[in-house]
Structure 1
Amino acid sequence: MAENMELLTRSWNVITNTLTPGKTTPISPGTEVEFINAIQVMCENDLGHLVKEWFQECVQQDLRQRVAPEFWSHFDNIDGDNASKHLASAVEFLHDVFSEYTPCMKKMEAVCPQRATETLNAYPTELSDLIIIYFKAIIFYAVPQNFLEIVDSFYSQAFKVFHHTSTTDMEDEGDEEDGTHCSGCAEETEQCKCQAIMDSFHNVNRMLDEIGILERISGGAVTKIVHQRIQHHVENTCKGTSKLYTSRQCRESWLENKVIGWLNLVYTTNPSHVDTDSISGFKGRLLHFLYETFARTQIEQLFNIIIEFPESEPAILDLKFCLEKTDLRSHLVTSLKSAFESRLLHPGVNTADILTAYISGIKALRVLDPAGVILELVCDPVRRYLRSRDDTVRCIVSSLTDDGNNELLDELFKAQPTALDESCHSDDNEEMWVPDPVDAYPGSTSKSRRASDIIGMLVNIYGSKELFVKEYRTLLADRILTQYNYEIEKEIRYLELLKLRFGESELHSCEVMLKDVADSKRLNSRIAEGRQQNGEQTPEVDVNAMVLSAQFWPPFREEKITLPENIQSLLKKYTTEFEALKGNRTLVWKPHLGLVNIDIELKDRTLNFSVSPVYAAIIMQFQDKARWTVEELSNDLQMPATALRRKVAFWQSQGLLKEETTDTFLLVEEHKGRTQDIMVTDEDETESAMASASAQREEELQVYWSYIVGMITNLDNLPLERIHSMLRMFAMQGPASVECSIHELKAYLDRKVKEQKLVFCGGAYRLPKNN
Structure 2
Amino acid sequence: MSQHYPEDLKLLVADICAIGSQLHPGTEDDLESLLTWLNPNETNSNHQLRPPALRLKNTIKVFANQPFNSSFSNDGNFEGINGLEKELLILLRQYYIFQVRLNFFFRFDNITTFKDIQRLETYYEFPLKHVFLFQRNAEEWIVERNDLRHYLLNKNNKFKVQLRQRLRTLIMDDDFDLACDVILFLNEAQGALYSRDILLDLMLIKISHFCEKHMENIYGHHFLVMETFNSFILKYWSYFARLLGCPEDDHGLTTIIYNCFEKQFIKIRIKEVFDVFINEYPESKPTILEMKKVLHHTDDFKQLVMQFLSAFEAKILNPSVTTVDALLAYVKSIKSFLLLDPTGKYLNSVVLFVKAYFQERHELVVILLYAILDLQSEEIFQHINLPIDMKRLKILAEELRDPDFNIESKHRAGGHFEKGTESFFNESSSGKAGSDTQLLYQGVLEKFLTWTPEPTDSIPRPFNQSHRNLLDVLTNMFESKEFFVSEFLKLLRKKLLTLKYYKLNRNWSKCLKLMKEKLKNEGSRMPNHESNANEESANSNNMAVMLRDTKNSEDLCKRMHQITDLDPRIFPKFISFLYWDRKLDYKNDTTIDFKLTEVLSHELEKYRNVYKELQPGRTLQLCKDQGVVELELSTRDGYTQKYDVTLEQATAIQLFDGGESNERIFLSLGEVSIQMEIGEERAQRVLQFWIGKSVLYKNHQDLYGSCEGREQEVRAQHQSPHKTSSYSQDSLLSHEQDEQDTKEFSNKIWPFIEGMLRNLGSLKVEKIHALLKVTLPKDLGYDMITHNDLESYLSMFVDDEKLAVLSNKSYKLIN
TM-score w.r.t. length of structure 2: 0.56
CA separation of 1:146 and 1:74: change in aligned 2, threshold 3 A? same
Query: Residues 303-342 of structure 1 correspond to what in structure 2 (within 5 A)?
Result: 303-307=274-278, 308-324=280-296, 328-342=300-314
Contact 1:60 1:138 (C-alpha < 8 Å) held by counterparts: no
2:476 aligned residue: 460
Alignment check: 8 A CA contact 1:415 1:501 kept: no
Deviation of 1:337 after TM superposition, in Å, equals 0.5
Q: What SS does the corresponding residue of 1:669 show, helix, strand or coil?
A: coil
3-state SS, counterpart of residue 655 of structure 2: helix
What is the rounded CA distance, in whole Å, between the counterparts of 2:503 and 2:264 in structure 1? 58
Q: Which of 484, 488, 494 is equivalent to 2:500?
A: 484
Distance 1:383 1:395 in 2: 16
Amino acid across the alignment from 1:255: F
Cα separation, partners in 2 of 1:367 and 1:212, compared to 1, 3 Å: farther
Distance 1:253 1:30 in 2: 51
SS of the equivalent of 2:193 reads helix
- Within a 5 Å distance, the mapping from 1:174-323 to structure 2 comes to 198=177, 202=180, 204=181, 207-208=184-185, 211-213=188-190, 216=193, 226=203, 229-240=206-217, 247-268=224-245, 274=246, 287=258, 289-307=260-278, 308-323=280-295
Aligned twin of 1:358: 330
Query: How far 1:242 moved relative to its partner?
Result: 6.6
How far, CA to CA, are the matches of 2:253 and 2:135 in structure 1?
30
- Change beyond 3 A, Cα 1:609–1:147: same
Instruction: Report 1 or 2 for greater relative contact order, CA contacts < 8 Å, sequence distance ≥ 6.
Output: 1
Query: Offset at 1:601?
Result: 4.1
- The 3 A distance-change label for structure 1 pair 399 and 31 is closer
Equivalent residue for 2:666, pick from 593, 604, 627: 627
Residue type of the partner of 1:352? V
Equivalent-residue separation in structure 1 for 2:361 and 2:684 (angstroms): 32
Give the Cα separation in 1 of the matches to 2:498 and 2:125. 93
Alpha carbons 1:520, 1:545 under 8 Å: kept: yes
Q: Which residue matches 1:768?
A: none
Q: Is the 8 A contact 1:604 1:671 kept in 2?
A: no
1:406 is matched with 398
Alignment of 1:501 with 2:528, yes or no, is no
State the aligned residue count.
Answer: 551
Q: Which residue of 2 aligns with 1:376?
A: 348
Quote the residue 1:471 is aligned against.
Answer: 487
Which residue of structure 2 lines up, in the alignment, with residue 389 of structure 1?
Answer: 361
CA contact (8 A) 1:208 1:214 kept: no
> Aligned partners of 2:190, 2:486: CA distance in 1, in Å?
78
Q: Secondary structure at the match of 1:366?
A: helix
Question: Relative to structure 1, is the Cα distance of residues 317 and 525 closer, same or farther in structure 2, using a 3 angstrom cutoff?
Answer: closer
Please give the residue correspondences for 1:32-51 in structure 2 after superposition, counting only pairs within 5 Å.
none
- The answer to whether the aligner puts 1:65 opposite 2:65 as a matched pair is no
Match of 2:621, SS?
A: coil
2:168 & 2:412 partners in 1: Cα distance? 64
Deviations 1:449-498 (A, max 9, x none): 67432222223334633222212211111222233241247445543333
Which secondary structure state, in structure 2, belongs to the residue aligned with residue 658 of structure 1? Answer: strand
Q: Distance in 2 between matches of 1:523 and 1:463?
A: 40
Query: Measured at CA, do residues 30 and 627 of structure 1 come closer, stay the same or move farther in structure 2, by a change above 3 Å?
Result: closer
For residue 563 of structure 1, what is the aligned residue in structure 2?
Answer: 596
Distance in 2 between the 1:476 and 1:651 partners? 27
Shift of residue 581 of structure 1?
A: 0.2
Aligned-residue offset at 1:594: 2.0
The 1:655–1:211 alpha-carbon spacing in structure 2 relative to 1, beyond 3 Å, is closer
What are the ranges of 5 or more consecutive residues in structure 1 without an aligned counterpart?
Answer: 1-12, 14-21, 35-56, 77-82, 108-126, 163-197, 269-273, 674-682, 688-771
> 1:437 and 1:151, CA in 2 relative to 1: closer, same or farther beyond 3 A?
closer
Structure 1 partner of 2:793 = none
Q: In the TM superposition, what is the alpha-carbon distance from 1:95 to its structure 2 partner? A: 9.0
Closer, same or farther: CA 342–137 of 1 in aligned 2, 3 Å = closer
SS for the counterpart of 1:507 is helix
Q: Are 1:547 and 2:539 an aligned pair? A: no
Q: What corresponds to 1:595 in structure 2? A: 628
Q: CA deviation at 1:62?
A: 8.4
Q: Which amino acid aligns with 1:238?
A: M
User: SS in structure 1 opposite 2:699?
Assistant: strand
1:137 and 1:145 map into 2 onto residues whose CA distance is 9
Equivalent residue number for residue 87 of structure 2: none
Q: % of aligned pairs identical?
A: 20
AA at the equivalent of 2:569 = D
Q: Deviations over 1:617-671 (max 9, x none)?
A: 1111123671211122112212232232222122223333221247531333315
* Contact 2:276 2:284 survives alignment (8 Å): yes
Q: Which 5+ residue runs of structure 2 have no aligned equivalent?
A: 1-14, 16-39, 41-63, 79-93, 376-393, 425-443, 524-536, 584-588, 659-663, 713-765, 771-815
> Is the CA contact (8 Å cut-off) linking 2:410 and 2:468 kept in structure 1?
no
Aligned-partner residue type, residue 275 of structure 2: N
Matches of 2:277 and 2:481, distance apart in 1: 28
Deviation at 1:528, TM superposition (A): 1.5
Q: Please tell me the residue identity of whatever aligns with 2:577.
A: A
1:95-133 per-residue CA deviation (whole Å, 9 max, x = no partner) reads 999x999998989xxxxxxxxxxxxxxxxxxx9999599
Q: Secondary structure at the match of 1:483?
A: coil
Amino acid at match of 1:472: F
Partner of residue 614, structure 2: 581
Give the match for residue 558 of structure 2.
525
**1:512 and 2:551 are equivalent in the alignment:** no
Matches of 2:575 and 2:456 in 1, distance apart?
53
1:419-434 mapped onto 2 (5 Å cutoff)? none
- Give the residue type in structure 1 aligned to 2:694: G
Amino acid at match of 1:542: R
Q: CA–CA distance in 1 between the matches of 2:677 and 2:455?
A: 70
How far 1:335 sits from its partner (Å)?
1.2
SS at match of 1:257: helix
Q: Residue 703 of structure 2 aligns with which residue?
A: 664
Amino acid aligned to 1:478: K
Shift in Å at residue 211 of structure 1?
1.6
Superposition RMSD on alpha carbons, in Å? 5.2
For 2:320 and 2:356, locate their aligned partners in 1 and report how far apart those are by CA, in whole Å.
Answer: 17
**DSSP 3-state at the match of 1:590:** coil
- Deviation at 1:215? 9.2
Seen in structure 2, the aligned counterparts of structure 1 residues 326 and 508 have a Cα distance that, compared at 3 Å, is closer
Query: CA–CA distance in 1 between the matches of 2:456 and 2:704?
Result: 73
Bigger mean CA offset, 218-227 vs 512-521 = 218-227
- Do the aligned residues in 1 keep the contact of 2:542 with 2:579 (CA within 8 Å)? yes
* Structure 2 counterpart of 1:641: 680
Q: How far apart are 1:524 and its partner, in Å?
A: 1.2
Aligned-pair CA distance for 1:565:
2.0
**Conservation of the 8 A alpha-carbon contact between 1:345 and 1:385:** yes
Aligned partner of residue 577 in structure 1, secondary structure: helix
Q: Deviations over 1:404-436 (max 9, x none)?
A: 853445634335699xxxx9x9999x9999899
Distance 2:110 2:348 in 1: 63
Conservation of the 8 A alpha-carbon contact between 1:227 and 1:289: yes
* Distance in 1 separating the partners of 2:301 and 2:100: 51
Amino acid across the alignment from 1:598: L
Q: 1:460 to 1:129 in 2, by over 3 A?
A: farther
- Conserved 8 A contact 1:481-1:593: yes
Distance change in 2, residues 1:229/1:607 (3 Å): same
Q: What is the rounded CA distance, in whole Å, between the counterparts of 1:154 and 1:417 in structure 2?
A: 54
Instruction: Give distance in 2, aligned partners of 1:275 and 1:237.
Output: 26
Which residue type is aligned with residue 362 of structure 1? I
Indicate the SS of the match to 1:455.
helix
- Cross-structure match for 1:749: none
